[in-house]
Amino acid sequence: MARKRTVHVRRVYEAPARTDGTRVLVDRIWPRGMAKEKAHLDEWCKQVAPSTELRKWYNHVPERFPEFSRRYRTELEDPEHADAVAHLRDLAHDRTLTLLTATKHPEISEAAVLAELLRG
């Protein structure tokens, strides 16, 4: 039986935790007011972020999250995202991975959708 991957979702503005493992920012745009040194990132994987069109349509309206999730998963199936998704899967294979986002509600963000996909 395959081991379930440990993938966390957190806000980039929160202080790093010892349990974070590898910390990867998955937003396309750098977080407002965040210094690169303070972010404590291992990587910035903006290639896996939703398209600008999808991000603007969603605008973090909670009622749109189910449709956003469906559309984003479709985008992630596109070959242009394949290498980035595979890279994140590799990172999560044998260690804890924490996906970081700047959104105020990470539980309804692209990071949450991506974490669910990577855990599966």
> Domain spans of the chain?
7-119
For residue 59, the model assigns a pLDDT of 94
For residue 5, the model assigns a pLDDT of 77
Three-state SS for 27?
coil
Q: In what order do the strands lie in the sheet with 7-11?
A: 7-11, 97-101, 22-25, 43-44
pLDDT in tens, 71-102: 999 999 999 899 999 999 999 988 999 999 99
Residue 75 tokens read as 């985008």
